[in-house]
Amino acid sequence: MKSLPFIFLCLFYCFPGRAQTDSNPYKKIETKKDSLPARRTIKPSVSKPPVQPNIVKDSIPADSINKQSLSPDSLVLQDTIKILSKPSPIKKFTGIDSTYAHFLQNPFLPMQKTPVYQIVKVRLPKQKDDLFYLLAGLVFYLACIKLMFYQYYDNLFRLFFQPSFRQKQTREQLMQSNFPSLLLNLFFILSAGTFVALLVNHYQVISSGFLNVFLYCIAGLTVLYASKYLLISFSGWVFNVKEAASTYIFAVYLVNKVLGILLLPFIFLLAFASQQIIEISTTISILLIILIFLYRYIISYSPVRREVKVSPLHFIIYILAFEILPLLFIYKSLILYLSITL
């Protein structure tokens, strides 16, 4: 009875062994798909250093904002917080950013403003045709004198620039030429009258036309120098100093002739130049007139003193009484008369 269970146990273990077809006793038994995977033996591997791939870097630097620091610095973080805490400036939208938009914002082209209705008068420029023909006539008149009496013209400037006024022969030649002397005296009246009229018209001393002021200036200068000639001639006849009187008259009118010629370029500047050039030319011409008048008194004092014993004080009193005061009197009378009548 005890051997029977032992026999069954041996048969139980023998029948499964006969069913194997594989001769390899160590081969693993195949399992179904849902069975667990077989165990794999992991061999110990030697650790090798990782191979770094050869990466080509970009030539364009990466954006500093996108870079993330692995070990951020506390100072950098604080500065970043300060920068981010500041409000960014808000740019005003100006519309279309183009050349046309730039011209639309021009203050001289107010296209965005409301239109204004106004009546613009047609600009009427000042007509200077009469002044042009007057100056052209003066130049033509002087050219005719120089062409017909060239010797008198040359002797006039030669005697004027002599320092001593001693060449009696040249002076006598000029005193004998009465007709060219009269023509140049008339030219001085026209030239000086035009100069004074342009100054009066420029500074608007009298609100009148140029032609009226020009005629009044010519009349005033004619009366002034005609009366001076008569007064000096009468004084020489009364005091029996005709030679000294004629010498002084010759010196006065010699300087006047040269002054009339020298004023001609300044007349053109006063007539047609700009405002700034007019101011400069006026100053220079007035200084030139003052210097020429001083030169006239200097060159006329020596010959008069040789014939008439007169002191410098008496000569200065004569200049103030017979040269300056009559000129101021005529100027004041002319201004008052024109301000009343015009």
DSSP-derived secondary structure for 83-96: HHHSPPPPPPP-S-
Residues 27-85: tens digit of each pLDDT: 444 444 444 455 555 555 555 555 555 555 555 555 555 555 445 555 555 555 555 55
Does some domain include residue 311?
A: yes
DSSP conformational letter for 153 = H
Residues 298-315: tens digit of each pLDDT: 877 777 777 777 777 877
* Per-residue pLDDT at 34: 47
In degrees, rounded to 5, the angle at the alpha carbon of residue 115 between the alpha carbons of residues 112 and 116 is 140
Provide the sign of the torsion angle of the four alpha carbons 205, 206, 211, 216, taken in this order: negative
Contacts within 8 Å (CB) and 24+ apart, 171-177: 171/250, 174/250, 174/254, 175/246, 175/250, 177/149, 177/152
Does some domain include residue 53?
A: no
Q: What is the mean pLDDT of the chain?
A: 75
What pTM was computed for the model? 0.60
* Per-residue pLDDT at 121: 80
Cα distances (Å, whole numbers) of residue 171 to 252, 299, 304: 13, 13, 15
130-139, 165-174, 267-276, 298-307, range with the lowest pLDDT: 165-174
Cα gap 164→160, rounded to integer Å: 10
- Segment 254-270 shows an average pLDDT of 93
Cα gap 227→326, rounded to integer Å: 10
What letter represents residue 229's amino acid? Y
In degrees, rounded to 5, the angle at the alpha carbon of residue 97 between the alpha carbons of residues 92 and 103 is 105
Calculate what percentage of the chain has a pLDDT beyond 70. 65
Q: What residues contact 327, with CB distance under 8 A and at least 6 apart?
A: 224
* Greater pLDDT, 180 or 118: 180
Cα gap 33→30, rounded to integer Å: 9
- Confidence label for 161 from pLDDT (cuts 50, 70 and 90): confident
- Confidence label for 237 from pLDDT (cuts 50, 70 and 90): confident
* Greater pLDDT, 204 or 310: 204
* Per-residue pLDDT at 31: 46
H-helix or E-strand spanning residue 129: helix 129-148
- Segment 151-156 shows an average pLDDT of 88
Does some domain include residue 84?
A: no
- Confidence label for 336 from pLDDT (cuts 50, 70 and 90): confident
Which of 256, 257, 283, 258 lies closest to 269, judged by CA? Answer: 283
Does some domain include residue 54?
A: no
* Residue 47 tokens, joined: 């650790």
* Per-residue pLDDT at 32: 45
Calculate what percentage of the chain has a pLDDT beyond 90. 21
Q: Can you give the residue range of the structural domain that contains 225?
A: 131-341
Does some domain include residue 77?
A: no
Cα gap 339→342, rounded to integer Å: 6
Does some domain include residue 79?
A: no
* Per-residue pLDDT at 29: 46
Does some domain include residue 100?
A: no
H-type helices in 204-274, by residue range? 210-238, 242-272
CB atoms near residue 152 (< 10 Å): 20
Which of 292, 285, 290, 291 lies closest to 269, judged by CA? Answer: 285
* Per-residue pLDDT at 227: 86
* Greater pLDDT, 235 or 266: 266
Which of 203, 200, 192, 198 lies closest to 131, judged by CA? Answer: 198
* Per-residue pLDDT at 262: 94
* Greater pLDDT, 197 or 119: 197
Which one of 80-89, 91-100, 156-165 scores highest in mean pLDDT? Answer: 156-165
* Per-residue pLDDT at 239: 79
CB atoms near residue 107 (< 10 Å): 5
Residue corresponding to tokens 């740019």: 91
- Segment 210-221 shows an average pLDDT of 88
Which of 159, 134, 78 lies closest to 268, judged by CA? Answer: 134
| Count: domains in the chain | 1
Residues 4-40: tens digit of each pLDDT: 666 766 666 665 555 555 555 544 444 444 444 555 5
- Segment 84-94 shows an average pLDDT of 59
- Segment 278-301 shows an average pLDDT of 89
CB 174 within 8 A of CB 159: yes
* Greater pLDDT, 246 or 214: 214
Does some domain include residue 229?
A: yes
* Per-residue pLDDT at 85: 58
Angle between helices 242-272 and 275-307 (to 10 degrees): 170
